[in-house]
C-alpha cells in the first residue's frame, strides 16, 4: 500500500461528510424532483402521446405539435402572449423605475410609501383581477367613470368586450399587480449606487438628467436586466389575472398560452395541452438565455 494512493484517497471528500451533505439536500431533492421535475418530464412525455380522457393512450410522436402549428387559435395565442410581454414588461419596468427613483429620495413618510407600494404585490392576483373586473364594468365601473370625469363627452368604453379594450385591461391589471416587485428590485439596485458618485457629479455640474443617464442607468444595468428577466418569465406564463378578468375572451383575444393550454387540460386533452406547456417553457428559456447573454451574465457566473 503506497502512501501516495492513501493520501489521494483521504484528500477526496470523506464519505461521511459527503453523505451528510447529501442527507441535508435530500428533502429539497425530493420536493423539487418529485413535484417539479417529474411532472415537467411527464408533461414532456405526454406531449408525444394522444392522451385524452376515456381514450386509450398512444404514442403519436410529434402529432400534437403538428396539430398545434395548424391551429390558428394557437398562433393567435402565441401572438397575444408576445404582445402582452412586449407591452406590459417595459411598462412595468419603467413605472417600477420611476417609483424606485421616488423611493430612493430621502423624504418624510418614505417607509409609509414603501409599505403602500407593497400592497398591490401582496394582494392575490385573483383578487385584484376581480377588482379590475369591477373597475372595467361597462355601466358603472371606475374606469368609465374616470373617462367621463376627465372628458365628459366621451362615451363609455367597452373594456372587456373589445379586443383592444381587453388587451389594455389585462395589461393595466397585471401592471398594477407586478410593478411593485420591479420597483423593489430596482430600488435595491439604486441604493447600492454609492452616494459619493452623485456628489462628485454635482461638483462636476452634471444636471439632473445627465446624472440619471450618465450614472444611474449604466450602474443600474445589471439589476435592470435581472428585473427584465424576472418580469419576462412571469409575464410569459401570465394566468391568474387573465383567467379572472377575461377568461381569455373576448373570443380568445386575450388567450395567453397558459390559458390556451389550461383550456385543453380542463377539457381532458392532456397530450395537446402538454405540447402547449412545452412550447411555453422553450419560449421562456430562449428569452432568458437571450437576456442573459445581453446582460453579460454568462461571463460573470464563470
Partner 1 sequence: MSEERVQRILLYCGVTGAVLFCLAPFGYMVLTGLSLRPDFLRPEIPLTLTALNFGTVLTDPSLHFLAYLRNSLVVSAVSATVAVLVASLAAYALTRLEAPGKLLILFFILGVSLFPQVSLVSWLYKFMATLGWINTLQALVLPYVAWTLPLAVWILYSYFTQIPRDLDRAALVDGCTRLQVLFRVVLPVAAPGVFSTFLLAFIFAFNEFLFALMLTADYTARTVPVGIALFEGRHGELPWGEIMAAATVATLPVVLLTLVYQRRIVQGLTRGAVKG
Partner 2 sequence: MHLTIHNCSKRFRTLRGTVEALREVSLEIGDGEFFVLLGPSGCGKSTLLNLVAGLERPSSGEIRFGETVVAAPARRIFVSPRQRNVAMVFQSYALYPHLDVFGNIAFPLKVAGEKEGAVRDAVAEAAGRLGLGDLLGRRPGELSGGQRQRVAIARALVRRPSVFLLDEPLSNLDAQLRAGTRTELKALQQELGITTLYVTHDQTEAMTLGHRIALLEEGEIVQVGAPQELYDAPATPFAATFIGSPPMNLLQGLIIEREVLLPGGFLVNVPVEKRDMEGLKGEVLVGIRPEHLVVVQEKEGAVPGTVRMVEPLGREFLLQIASGIGDLQALVEKNPPQRGENVNLYIDPRRVHFFFLQA
Q: Could you tell me if 50 and 60 are in contact, meaning their C-beta atoms sit under 8 angstroms apart?
A: yes
Beta carbon nearer to partner 2, 14 or 90: 14
Restricting to residues 18-77, which ones interact with partner 1 according to CB under 8 A? 18, 20-22, 24-25, 27-28, 31-32, 34-40, 42-43, 46
DSSP state at residue 1: -
Q: How far is the CB of 223 from partner 1 (least distance, A)?
A: 6
Binding interface with partner 2 (CB under 8 A): 1, 3, 6-7, 9-11, 14, 16
C-alpha dihedral (213, 219, 225, 228), degrees to nearest 10: -50
Nearer to partner 2, 19 or 79 (CB): 19
Please identify, among the stretches 60-68, 71-79, 156-164, 222-230, the one whose residues bind partner 1 according to the rule CB under 8 A: 222-230
Nearest distance, CB of residue 10 and partner 2, angstroms: 4
Could you give the CA distance from residue 272 to residue 71 in angstroms, rounded to a whole number?
A: 11
Where in the chain does DSSP place strands (E)? 49-50, 58-59
Contact string (CB under 8 A) for partner 1, positions 110-149, x = contact: -x-xxxxxxxxxxxxxxxxxxxx-xx-x-xxxx--x----
User: Distances in Å between the alpha carbon of 253 and those of 146, 235, 266, 268, 285?
Assistant: 25, 16, 19, 22, 25
Tell me the CA end-to-end span of the chain in Å, nearest whole number: 39
Helix axes 110-122, 72-104, angle to 10 degrees: 160
Measured distance CA(44)–CA(104) in Å, rounded: 45
Chain centroid to CA 230: 5
Instruction: Among 179, 216, 254, 255, indicate the residue that binds partner 1 (CB under 8 A).
Output: 179
Count of beta carbons in the 10 Å neighbourhood of residue 172: 19
**Shortest Å distance, C-beta 1 to partner 1:** 26
267 part of the interface to partner 1, by CB under 8 A: no
Q: Which of partner 2, partner 1, none does 258 bind, CB closer than 5 to 8 A by kind?
A: partner 1
Which listed option, partner 2, partner 1, none, makes contact with residue 38 (CB within 5 to 8 Å by class)? partner 1
CA distances from 138 to 133, 134, 158, 162, 171 (A): 10, 9, 6, 11, 18
Q: Could you say which of partner 2, partner 1, none residue 7 binds, taking C-beta under 5 to 8 angstroms by partner kind?
A: partner 2
Q: How many helices (H) and strands (E) does the chain have?
A: 16, 2
Q: How far is the CB of 241 from partner 1 (least distance, A)?
A: 9
Binding status of residue 195 toward partner 1 by CB under 8 A: no
- In angstroms, the CA 288 to CA 233 distance is 7
Q: Which of residues 66-105 bind partner 1 (CB under 8 A)?
A: 95, 98-99, 101-103, 105
CB of 140 to partner 1, least distance (A): 3
Tell me if 165 contacts partner 1 by CB under 8 A. no
Measured torsion, CA atoms of residues 15, 21, 24, 29, in degrees rounded to the nearest 10:
-100
271-300 residues near partner 1, rule: CB under 8 A: 273-274, 276-278, 280-281, 284-285, 288
- Give the shortest CB-16-to-partner 2 separation in angstroms: 8
Nearer to partner 1, 3 or 16 (CB): 16
Amino acid at each position: 500500500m503506497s502512501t501516495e494512493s492513501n493520501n489521494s484517497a483521504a484528500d477526496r471528500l470523506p464519505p461521511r461528510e459527503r453523505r451528510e451533505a447529501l442527507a441535508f439536500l435530500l428533502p429539497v431533492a425530493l420536493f423539487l424532483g418529485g413535484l417539479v421535475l417529474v411532472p415537467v418530464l411527464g408533461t414532456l412525455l405526454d406531449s408525444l402521446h394522444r392522451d385524452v380522457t376515456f381514450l386509450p393512450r398512444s404514442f403519436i410522436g410529434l402529432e400534437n405539435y403538428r396539430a398545434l402549428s395548424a391551429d390558428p387559435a394557437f398562433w393567435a395565442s402565441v401572438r397575444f402572449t408576445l404582445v402582452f410581454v412586449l407591452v406590459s414588461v417595459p411598462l412595468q419596468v419603467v413605472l417600477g423605475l420611476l417609483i424606485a427613483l421616488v423611493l430612493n429620495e430621502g423624504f418624510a413618510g418614505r417607509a409609509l410609501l414603501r409599505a403602500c407600494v407593497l400592497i398591490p404585490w401582496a394582494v392575490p392576483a385573483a383578487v385584484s383581477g376581480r377588482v379590475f373586473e369591477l373597475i372595467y364594468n361597462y355601466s358603472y365601473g371606475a374606469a368609465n367613470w374616470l373617462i367621463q370625469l376627465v372628458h365628459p363627452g366621451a362615451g363609455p368604453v367597452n373594456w372587456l368586450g373589445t379586443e383592444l379594450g381587453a388587451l389594455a385591461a389585462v395589461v393595466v391589471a397585471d401592471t398594477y399587480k407586478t410593478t411593485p416587485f420591479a420597483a423593489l428590485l430596482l430600488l435595491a439596485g439604486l441604493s447600492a449606487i454609492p452616494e459619493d458618485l452623485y456628489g462628485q457629479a454635482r461638483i462636476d455640474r452634471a444636471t439632473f438628467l445627465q446624472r440619471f443617464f450618465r450614472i444611474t442607468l449604466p450602474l443600474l444595468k445589471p439589476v435592470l436586466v435581472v428585473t427584465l428577466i424576472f418580469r419576462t418569465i412571469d409575464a410569459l406564463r401570465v394566468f391568474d389575472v387573465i383567467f379572472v378578468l377575461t377568461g381569455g375572451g373576448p373570443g380568445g383575444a386575450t388567450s395567453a398560452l397558459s390559458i390556451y393550454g389550461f383550456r385543453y387540460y380542463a377539457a381532458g386533452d392532456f397530450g395537446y395541452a402538454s405540447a402547449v406547456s412545452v412550447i411555453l417553457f422553450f419560449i421562456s428559456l430562449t428569452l432568458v438565455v437571450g437576456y442573459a447573454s445581453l446582460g453579460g451574465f454568462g461571463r460573470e457566473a464563470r
